[in-house]
Chain A
């Protein structure tokens, strides 16, 4: 009897300890939760509330009459065409990053571990330099009589007037976002066992077929992650278009920044930001629906 009571007591004590551990486990979430609430959820809610307000552009006083006029203005040709341009440029950049990043990630994943580390470091090293410096360096590279122009002139005899064009924006964005595509693809590729390549070869699959039937399906999660990581920020990009586009190519990010910093129209800027966010979230959900179907079994 005493033994049974002692056992129950030990069990109760053990249960209490487990409960305390769970509590402590929950407590660990608190800092992140507070951070997310303070610097993500609340600002997001504020932006959404602002987007339904109006502002006196002389006094900067905001009135909350819950009007949808800011969203209605977003439907004008100016903003829709700018949004489409941003989406197109983002799509082009993402595709270019995928086309360049996949072979690079595949190459790295097939190297010995030490070589992989060196090559991955080479991919990441540019991030140690200021983003602005890296972007401005492209001005020097692409300008008339710059290295790229000289090379083109040497080959074709014609100057390549590429700086301050949509092409230079695409080049700059691809350069900046490429590492963000390479890394998740590399992680997916690196997990593929070499035995699978050997098995596919034993079964008669040539390299191209191995790639299509083995590598690509298994790398898809990484590829999709890369598409999201590159595509989302690229759509709202405004610094690179400003520097490499010569102010001639307007992107939706430039308009949002202009509304906040130049005009001071927070409600309209907020409506544009919320609209862009909703569009991007819809695209993300669409991608999420695609992903399970291609998840490797």
Chain B
């Protein structure tokens, strides 16, 4: 199961799957805040395809001649896939969500961050730093509701509304095809924690999903809210960035912060204990957090962002979006965390939903 990395992977040619970000440079994006000096070497990064500001790596390499950041794309962005990749020892740092990060920490793979070497962490919102303590948070995504009020004919404010309206709009509702996000949202609908590992609550979650499944058009792994544009979908369990993207093409689409709350993933970069080029990794992390560089990342990926200081440099279509801008909107959000051995139980419940 994949998140936005998969969508990007499908959008780029296969050859781009293995990114070698050591090509052209752009002086307009040269860093200003990082100390220049000898950081010669190559840092290997595990990353999603194209999940990097277009100019960030070239600008860093220009600032530090002899340094290289080599990105490699994982074949799976699942938690276990990410952790198993990091466990190979082939990477100096990598992109991982909270769950994968916690698992990597539990295994002893992660180098605790030395914030004196990454002072630009000060630009990141405190709530995100608290939610992602083992590395530098880079982006997050809320799972809420996108819908077409003009076609539904009433205002949706909650997950309860989605379940209530399902029979009326049977075949025009899509859910996300990822257990953590779909089951997490369903658990919120039921009033439970989105990270619940209580068997009875997971059973209730399964039953709720089986109840609504006949009315679902699909569980989608990509292009979740695309149908909202032409009205073939009227309600979508969807990621904030995807709704914001579709909203630009179809202004009638609205985003809902469900009253029961919502789950969210948060991602960031973690350094590996086994890295031989830790100073290079830390320097690059610090560089990437400079507001201008971070804005380049947000402008490239269109993600919801965690660095308010970067707002002036972020495109208005993103910074002006109430969906993507960090702020009070994350109050009612529960970040997903590592489930430990309960992962197998979640997977089984998810399979039972799919098989029903």
Measuring CB to CB, which residues of chain A are less than 8 angstroms from any residue of chain B? 57-60, 78, 81-82, 85, 132, 143-145, 161, 163-164, 242, 246-250, 254-255, 258-259, 261-265
Q: From known contacts A143-B232, A164-B217, infer whether A60 and B84 are also in contact, taking CB-CB under 8 Å.
A: yes
A82 to B351, CA, bound (A): 10
Contact mask for chain B residues 220-255; partner A; CB cutoff 8 A; 1 contact, 0 none: 110000000010100000000000000000000000
Partner of B106, one of A58, A132, A246: A58
A57 to B103, CA, bound (A): 10
Q: From known contacts A78-B348, A258-B351, A261-B76, infer whether A145 and B219 are also in contact, taking CB-CB under 8 Å.
A: no
List of A residues within 8 angstroms of B79 by Cβ:
262
Contact A58 B344 (CB under 8 A): no
Say whether chain A's binding surface is mostly helix, strand, loop, or mixed: loop
List of A residues within 8 angstroms of B81 by Cβ:
261-262, 264
Contact A247 B103 (CB under 8 A): no
List of B residues within 8 angstroms of A164 by Cβ:
217-218
Q: How far apart are A222's CB and chain B's nearest CB, in angstroms? A: 34
Asked if B267 lies at the interface with its beta carbon under 8 angstroms from chain A, I say: no
Partner of A247, one of B171, B177, B343, B347: B177
**Given A58-B341, A263-B80, 11 more pairs with CB closer than 8 A:** A246-B218, A247-B177, A247-B220, A247-B354, A248-B354, A250-B351, A254-B354, A255-B351, A262-B1, A262-B79, A262-B80
A254 to B354, CA, bound (A): 10
Q: How far apart are A240's CB and chain B's nearest CB, in angstroms? A: 13
Q: How far apart are B215's CB and chain A's nearest CB, in angstroms? A: 11
Asked if B216 lies at the interface with its beta carbon under 8 angstroms from chain A, I say: yes
The residue of chain A having its C-beta at the shortest distance from the C-beta of B78 within the complex is A262
Contact mask for chain B residues 60-91; partner A; CB cutoff 8 A; 1 contact, 0 none: 00000000000000011011110110010000
The residue in A81, A145, A164, A249 that gathers the most chain B C-beta atoms within 10 A of its C-beta is A164
Contact A57 B351 (CB under 8 A): no
Q: How far apart are A162's CB and chain B's nearest CB, in angstroms? A: 11
Asked if B352 lies at the interface with its beta carbon under 8 angstroms from chain A, I say: yes
- 12 residue pairs bridging A and B, Cβ less than 8 Å apart: A58-B106, A60-B87, A78-B352, A144-B232, A145-B232, A164-B217, A242-B221, A246-B218, A249-B354, A250-B354, A258-B347, A264-B80
List of A residues within 8 angstroms of B219 by Cβ:
246-248
The residue of chain A having its C-beta at the shortest distance from the C-beta of B75 within the complex is A261
Within B77-125, the residues touching A (CB, 8 Å) are 78-81, 83-84, 87, 103, 106-107
The residue of chain B having its C-beta at the shortest distance from the C-beta of A244 within the complex is B218
Q: How far apart are A83's CB and chain B's nearest CB, in angstroms? A: 11
A143 to B80, CA, bound (A): 33
Asked if B340 lies at the interface with its beta carbon under 8 angstroms from chain A, I say: yes
A258 to B219, CA, bound (A): 15
Within B202-220, the residues touching A (CB, 8 Å) are 213, 216-220
Contact B230 A263 (CB under 8 A): no
Contact B230 A145 (CB under 8 A): yes
Q: How far apart are A75's CB and chain B's nearest CB, in angstroms? A: 14
List of A residues within 8 angstroms of B230 by Cβ:
145
Q: How many residues belonging to B are interface residues under a CB distance threshold of 8 Å?
A: 36
Asked if B355 lies at the interface with its beta carbon under 8 angstroms from chain A, I say: yes
Contact A264 B84 (CB under 8 A): yes
Measuring CB to CB, which residues of chain B are less than 8 angstroms from any residue of chain A? 1, 10, 75-76, 78-81, 83-84, 87, 103, 106-107, 171, 177, 179, 213, 216-221, 230, 232, 340-341, 343-344, 347-348, 351-352, 354-355
Contact A263 B220 (CB under 8 A): no
The residue in A143, A145, A248, A249 that gathers the most chain B C-beta atoms within 10 A of its C-beta is A248
List of A residues within 8 angstroms of B213 by Cβ:
248
Contact A81 B347 (CB under 8 A): no
Nearest first, the 8 closest Cβ-Cβ pairs linking A and B are A246-B218, A264-B80, A247-B219, A250-B354, A247-B177, A164-B218, A250-B355, A261-B76
The residue of chain B having its C-beta at the shortest distance from the C-beta of A59 within the complex is B107
A261 to B232, CA, bound (A): 32
The residue of chain B having its C-beta at the shortest distance from the C-beta of A136 within the complex is B10
The residue of chain A having its C-beta at the shortest distance from the C-beta of B175 within the complex is A247
The residue in A78, A144, A254, A264 that gathers the most chain B C-beta atoms within 10 A of its C-beta is A264
Q: How far apart are B185's CB and chain A's nearest CB, in angstroms? A: 15
Contact A263 B347 (CB under 8 A): yes
Partner of A57, one of B220, B221, B343: B343
List of B residues within 8 angstroms of A145 by Cβ:
230, 232
A143 to B213, CA, bound (A): 19
The residue of chain B having its C-beta at the shortest distance from the C-beta of A264 within the complex is B80
List of B residues within 8 angstroms of A254 by Cβ:
354
The residue of chain A having its C-beta at the shortest distance from the C-beta of B233 within the complex is A144
Contact A60 B351 (CB under 8 A): no
The residue of chain B having its C-beta at the shortest distance from the C-beta of A60 within the complex is B84
A161 to B179, CA, bound (A): 26
Q: How far apart are A125's CB and chain B's nearest CB, in angstroms? A: 20
Q: How far apart are A237's CB and chain B's nearest CB, in angstroms? A: 15
A59 to B109, CA, bound (A): 10
The residue of chain B having its C-beta at the shortest distance from the C-beta of A241 within the complex is B354
Partner of B103, one of A58, A249, A255: A58
List of B residues within 8 angstroms of A82 by Cβ:
351, 355
Contact A246 B220 (CB under 8 A): yes
A81 to B351, CA, bound (A): 12
A157 to B238, CA, bound (A): 32
The residue of chain A having its C-beta at the shortest distance from the C-beta of B1 within the complex is A262
List of B residues within 8 angstroms of A263 by Cβ:
80, 343-344, 347
Q: From known contacts A242-B221, A247-B218, A262-B78, infer whether A78 and B351 are also in contact, taking CB-CB under 8 Å.
A: yes
Q: How far apart are B34's CB and chain A's nearest CB, in angstroms? A: 36
Q: How far apart are B148's CB and chain A's nearest CB, in angstroms? A: 14
Partner of A59, one of B78, B106, B216, B343: B106
